[in-house]
Amino acid sequence: MAPLDLSGLGHVGGNLVSVAFGIGFGFLLERAGFGNARKLASQFYLNDQTVLKVMFTAIIVAMLLIYWTTGLGWLDFERIWVNPTYLWPGIIGGLLLGVGFIIGGYCPGTSIVATATLKLDGLIFFLGCLLGIFVFGETVPWYQAFWEQSGFMGRYTIPEWLGLTYGVVVFLVILMALGMFAGAEWLESLFRKEPVNPEQSPRTRRLELVGATVLLLLAAGLALFAQAVPAPARPRLLADAERKIAGRERHIEPAELLSLMHNNQVVLRKLDVRDEADYNLFHLVDATLVKPGRLEDGLVKGLPSDAIKVVMSNGEEPANDVAKELMARGVRNVYILAGGLNKWLETYGSGTVRRTTSTDPNSLQFEFPAALGAHYGVSNPDRWTTPQLAFTPKVTFDRPVIKVKGGCGGWANASRVE
């Protein structure tokens, strides 16, 4: 069975689906008691673990649905947005969110639920969130470099971290969740003044055991029979990369690269894939040397997702190969310098560098008196004195946008989607 495709709904249909899910999610949060600040804050006082139980139940059920439908071929896992890991910003942001949660009694998402049910404290917290968003937007240049790059690990998942299959990790998470549920009830029995579930019937207990058993069986089946869940993504990404490169959709002219170098609103990464001798002889300012055929995972994961990556070589062939590999690994915003550095030098090096007799498009066709790297003026042409050449723009600036999510974390934990 082919993966489910909802693209036919269009923009309006997609928005209606989002609104319907949002209303349903908010309704369920309110029914679970998440519109009550006392109930939410009780989580931190260990006498009411409803927040942990409800949210973790939602997480593990969604997790099982995602991986089973992917394993059955109904869902393409690689089309699901996975937040890139920004380790230190995530830790600091989590601490700030936790402090705000316990002081105010709400997280951003639950404050909207409380506001919808006409609770004054929820409205005040919600207005505070709006003020915080405004202040954050006005001050973000002060710490943008830390926010976007500190501890950046790319799309880094628990299976990658542990070196285990997705199915095994799902099974372990289910075991952890069941242990946490049992531990939560034990904590409630210690810290609550009144008994927890004083009239819980044997039937309720049996239903809980049945539910736990079903979860374990589904997770065990996933671990045994669907271990390579996300594997089909690479062939699709590779085919897409080959199509775009063959159609020259990702080849940008030297003039466009120069405009990007002079655009302080763009995060730009220049990847030079030539041999070290040519790189030492001459390279563009701030270009990173990448050894062809040896793309280390650390380099790939260290590329900011919203940065424009331009791959370059003397000609185009080696750059095409590296760009294709990056795109097949899921790296976004990858482009290639059209004509390579030979065309760059031909365009901007007139009168300052001399051609060699070489006709090999993949060798450096210009002479340099010394290996000065980026210390030649042509490595970073002056924006005011260099003629502004016309070009057909290829870079689409598909920077991630902030998409608001509901629930605990809400706006403060907005995801970035492309």
Distance CA(284)–CA(36), nearest Å, equals 58
270 CB-side CA count, 13 A: 22
> For position 44, what pLDDT does the model report?
86
250 versus 302: which is more confidently predicted?
250
Least Cα distance to 397 among 308, 271, 269 occurs for 308
Contacts of 1 (CB under 8 A, 6+ apart): 72, 73, 74
Residues 280-322 pLDDT 10s: 999 999 999 987 666 666 677 667 777 899 999 999 999 999 9
Residues 139-170 pLDDT 10s: 888 887 787 767 777 667 787 778 777 788 88
What is the mean pLDDT of the segment spanning 18-27?
A: 86
Which H/E stretch holds residue 268? strand 268-272
pLDDT at 365 > cutoff 70: yes
306 versus 348: which is more confidently predicted?
348
What is the mean pLDDT of the segment spanning 187-214?
A: 74
- CATH number, domain 234-401: 3.40.250.10
Distance CA(319)–CA(310), nearest Å, equals 9
Q: How many residues does the chain have?
A: 418
What is the mean pLDDT of the segment spanning 391-400?
A: 74
252 versus 224: which is more confidently predicted?
252
Which H/E stretch holds residue 258? helix 254-261
pLDDT at 405 > cutoff 50: no
The token pair that represents 347 in the structure block: 């365009």
pLDDT at 84 > cutoff 90: no
What DSSP assignment string belongs to 108-170? HHHHHHHHHTT-HHHHHHHHHHHHHHHHHHHHGGGTHHHHHHTTEEES--HHHHHT--HHHHH
0.85 cut: is pTM over it?
A: no
- Sequence letter at residue 105: G
Which part of the chain is CATH 3.40.250.10? 234-401
Distance CA(242)–CA(223), nearest Å, equals 33
Distance CA(376)–CA(382), nearest Å, equals 12
- Sequence letter at residue 154: G
Region for residue 254 given its phi and psi (left: phi exceeds 0; alpha: psi -120 to 50; beta: otherwise): alpha
Distance CA(60)–CA(173), nearest Å, equals 8
Do residues 30 and 36 lie in contact, with contact meaning Cβ atoms separated by under 8 Å?
no
